[in-house]
Structure 1
C-alpha cells in the first residue's frame, strides 16, 4: 500500500496555501499597485530557487470525516533561495491575510527564519508588510487574558546583526514590531507612495496624543527620508529588489567569509585629468564630492547609503579593482562637510558595518571639524562626534585617508587612527590645523585688531603672512604628512593599497569584538 493519498492531500493543502488570503483580498492588494508576497519572492530570488519552509502552517477547519475543508495560511512565508547565485534566507509578510497582523500569524515561523539565518550563517532578507506585533485588542477575547509582550526571536535578531547581512524592506504600512523589524537591519528601504513606518499608526496616535494625521503625514517617505530610521528610499518595488541585490553583492554571506570579489574592466592605472582642478583654489568654494568618487573608484560601482540623513557625510560601498570597500566622504555643500550630531551617528553606524563584515574603508577627507553653534550644543554633538571617532579608532579593518582639503580640530583629527599605520595621502589642496587660520587669526589677534586704526588692513596682512606657513609642503618637511600626491595618482595608489588590504583581511575574519547595533 503506497502513501499516494497522503501525498495528494499534501499537494492539495500546498495549493490552498498558495491562494494566500483568497481571490478578493489578492485583487484588493493588486489594486493598490502592490505585488503579493509570493510575487515579491519570485522577483527577488533567482528563478526557481525558492524552497519554502512551513507552507502548511495556518488555521484549518475540518468536515465530519476529519478532512480539511478550508485553510487560511499563516501570513508569514519563509524559506531559502538564491540571489545572483548566493543562498539567502527570506522571511516575508502576507498582507492579504489579516493585514499582516499577529492574529493571522503562526509566530514560530518568523522566529524560525531568524534562527535559520543564524545557524546556517546565511544573509536574511525581511519583506515587511504589516504590524507583526500584538494584533487587535479584540484578540484578547480569545485568550481571556493579557500577556507580558516578548519580541519573537529577538535574541537571534540581535545576534544576526553581528553574524550575517540583514536587509529589511518596508513593503507597505509597518507599525510596532513590524517597524522594529525594519529598523533592526544593516540596510533598510522604503518605497514612495507605498510604504509608511511608525511606532504606532494614526488611530493610536489620535487617541494617545490627541492629533490626527494620515499615514503619509505620520510615517511616509517625506518623514523618514532624513529621519535616520531608514537608509534608502526607492520609487518602486522592483527598485527595492534591485537595491537589496546590490547591497548584498558587496558583503560576504557571514563574518567568516571575505567580501566577494568581482571582475572589472576598469583599469587600475586610470588617471582622470579633471582631478587636477576639481578642488577650487578658493577655500570657501564647495565642489561635488560624488564626482570625485566616480573618478577614483571602479566605474559604476558606487552604492550610496543614507543620502539624506547626516548629509554632510556621504557613506556607501564601491569597488577598487573589483574588491569591495566602504567609503566615507565629506560633502562641502552641506555645512562645509562638518560633523553634525546626525552625520556622527551615520559615521559610527557605517564604520561598525564595515568592521562587522571586514570591508576596508577609504575616507575622503575635507573635514572642517564639528559644526559649532547653540543648536549643535543642544543636540550633544560633541558626545556623538566622539562616538564616531571612537568607532574609527576601534576599527581593525584596513583604512586609508585621502585628504582632499580641510583637516581641522577634533573632528578632522578623528577621521583616521593617527596612532596606527593606517595610510594617508594628501592632495596639494590640503589645509589643516587646530582650527582654520581665518577664524584663528581673529581670535589670536583680537586685541591688536581692536586697537588698530585700520583693522581690515591689519587682518589682510596677517592673513597674507600666514599663507606660506599653511602650505602643505611645510608640513611635509617635518614629516607631519607622509605623502602629498598628484590627485590623478589617487586611483592607482588606492588599487595598490586594496590588494595589500585583502592580504591582511583573512587574519581578521570572525565576529567583531563589539556586535553591531542597528
Structure 2
C-alpha cells in the first residue's frame, strides 16, 4: 500500500494556499490597484524558480471523521527564488487575509524566511503590505503580548546580507518597520502608505483628521522624511528596481560584488566633459549628466533622488564592476551640505562599505549650509557624522574635485587617512572659504573708506589677485593635490584606479576573492 492519499493531500493543501484569501478578496485587491503577493513573487523571481516554504501553515477545519475540509492559509508567503540566477529569500505579506496583519499571521513563518536568508548568506526581499495589530485580534487570542520578536535577528541581518523592502500597500506598525528597515526601500505612488499608526489612531490620539496619503504616502517618505529611498510609479517598476539594486550587491558580506560583461571602452573620452563646468561661477550645470558620461553607459541607478537633494547618491559600474557614486547637485542649495543630505550621504557610505563597493566622489562642495534653520536642524553635526563615516570606512575611495571644495563640509570629500587619492579638474577651487566672500570681509575697513566706484575697482583688483592664488595648479606644485587631469580622461583614470582597488579589495575588506559574474 502506497502513501498516495497523503501525497494527494499535499497537493490539495497547496492548492488551498494558492487561493490566498479567496476569490472575492483577490478581486478587492485588484480593484484597489494592487497585485497579490503571489503575483508579485511571479514578477520579481526568475521564471519557475520560487520554492515555497510553509505553504501548509494556516487554520484548518475538519469534519467529524477528521477529514480535511478547508485551510485558511497564514497571511505570509515565504520561500526562496532566483533573481538573475542568484538565490534570494522572500518574505511576502498577503493582504487578502486580514489585511496582512502582523497580529493575525504566524510570526514564526516570516521570521524563519528572514533568518534562513541570514544563515544561508543570501539577499532578503520583503514584499510588505501589512495593517499591523488589531484590538479584535487581541480579543480572539485572549491576551496581549509584549511588543517585539526575540527570534527576529533584524539588526544582525542588516550587517550581513542585502535587504530590499517594498511597501506595496498600507504598512502600519510592524509593517512600517519592515519597510523602513532595509538597505534599499521602495514605495508605489498612490497605492502604498507607511506609518507607525494609521489615520484612525492619529485622530483618536491627537485629534487630527488626516487621510492615508497625507499621513504616510510616498511623497512624504521619499521627499520629506527620507524613511523610504525610491518612489515607483507602479508595482512592476518597484519590483524591477529591486532586481536592479540587487545586481550591484554581493549575496552577503562574505563575497565581493558581482561583475558583468562590459563592452563600453574603459578609456572612452567624452568631449562634453571639457565644457560641462561653466566658467561663470554662479552658473549651474547637470551633475547627473556628468556622472552618466563617466560611468558605464546605462549603469547608473540613483538612490533617494527626492531626499537630501543637494547630494546625489547612486550605484553604477566602471568596466562592469559595481561602485558607489556620490556627487553634489548645484541645482539644490548650490550643492551645499544640509542635514538631510548629510544623513543620506552617511547612510549611503555605510551601505557601500558594508557590501564592499569602492566609492567615487564627484566633488563640488560650497560648504555646510548656514542660517538659523540650518543651525536648528543640527547641520554641523550632520557634517561631523559624514566625516566620521568616511574615516571609518574600509573600501577604496577616489575623489574627483570638479569645481568647489570649501569649509567644514569640504573635509568630507574622501578618507584623509592613508593615501587619500583624489584628482582635480582645472575648474577646481578650494579653501577655508570662497574668495568671493572672503575678500570683502577681510578688506572691509579699507573698502569702507572708498567711494562706490573706487570700492568696486579695488574689490575687482583684490579678487583677481586672490583668484590667482586659488588656482589648483599652485596647489599641485606643492603636491597638495596628487594630480590635475583633463576632464575627458576621468573615465580612464577611474578605471585604472579601480584595477588596483579591485585587486586588493578582498584582502582590504576581508572577503573571498572569487569574482561572481552575472
Alignment-derived partner of residue 436 in structure 1: 434
Tell me, yes or no, if the aligned pair for 1:255 and 1:509 is still in contact at 8 Å: no
| Cα distance in structure 1, aligned partners of 2:114 and 2:236 | 24
Alignment-derived partner of residue 109 in structure 1: 109
| Correspondent of 1:158 among 155, 160, 166 | 155
Alignment-derived partner of residue 351 in structure 2: 353
Give the CA deviation at 1:264. 0.9
Give the CA deviation at 1:431. 0.5
1:193 maps to 2:190: yes
Counterparts of 1:368-407 in structure 2, within 5 Å, are 368-407=366-405
Give the CA deviation at 1:56. 0.4
| Cα distance in structure 2, aligned partners of 1:215 and 1:75 | 22
Give the CA deviation at 1:269. 1.5
Match of 1:495, SS state, is: helix
Alignment-derived partner of residue 25 in structure 2: 25
Q: Deviations over 1:114-135 (max 9, x none)?
A: 110111011000000113x4x2
Alignment-derived partner of residue 515 in structure 2: none
Aligned residues: 508
Give the CA deviation at 1:34. 1.5
Give the CA deviation at 1:499. 1.1
Q: Deviations over 1:459-515 (max 9, x none)?
A: 22211221211111111111121100110010111111111111011113458xxxx
| Cα distance in structure 2, aligned partners of 1:451 and 1:298 | 56
TM-score (normalised: structure 2): 0.96
| Cα distance in structure 1, aligned partners of 2:48 and 2:23 | 24
* Large movers: runs of 4+ above 4 Å: none
Q: Deviations over 1:201-259 (max 9, x none)?
A: 00100101101111111111221221200100011111111101110000100001110
Alignment-derived partner of residue 315 in structure 1: 313
Alignment-derived partner of residue 475 in structure 1: 475
Alignment-derived partner of residue 173 in structure 2: 176
Counterparts of 1:57-136 in structure 2, within 5 Å, are 57-131=57-131, 133=132, 135-136=133-134
| Cα distance in structure 2, aligned partners of 1:363 and 1:295 | 14
| Cα distance in structure 1, aligned partners of 2:253 and 2:508 | 9
Tell me, yes or no, if the aligned pair for 1:358 and 1:508 is still in contact at 8 Å: no
| Cα distance in structure 2, aligned partners of 1:38 and 1:254 | 26
Alignment-derived partner of residue 144 in structure 2: 146
Tell me, yes or no, if the aligned pair for 1:368 and 1:407 is still in contact at 8 Å: yes
| Cα distance in structure 1, aligned partners of 2:303 and 2:138 | 41
> Which deviates further from its counterpart, 170-179 or 28-37?
28-37
Tell me, yes or no, if the aligned pair for 1:151 and 1:177 is still in contact at 8 Å: no
Give the CA deviation at 1:456. 2.4
| Cα distance in structure 2, aligned partners of 1:201 and 1:68 | 38
Match of 1:102, SS state, is: coil
- Give the direction of change, closer, same or farther, for the CA distance of 1:320–1:81 in structure 2 (3 Å limit): same
Alignment-derived partner of residue 504 in structure 2: 504
| Cα distance in structure 1, aligned partners of 2:401 and 2:339 | 22
Give the CA deviation at 1:357. 0.4
Give the CA deviation at 1:146. 2.5
Give the CA deviation at 1:31. 1.4
Give the CA deviation at 1:152. 5.8
| Cα distance in structure 1, aligned partners of 2:412 and 2:37 | 45
- The answer for unaligned runs of 5 or more in structure 2 is 512-518
| Cα distance in structure 2, aligned partners of 1:99 and 1:162 | 30
Alignment-derived partner of residue 218 in structure 1: 215
Alignment-derived partner of residue 299 in structure 1: 297
Counterparts of 1:182-331 in structure 2, within 5 Å, are 182-226=179-223, 227-331=225-329
Give the CA deviation at 1:103. 4.0
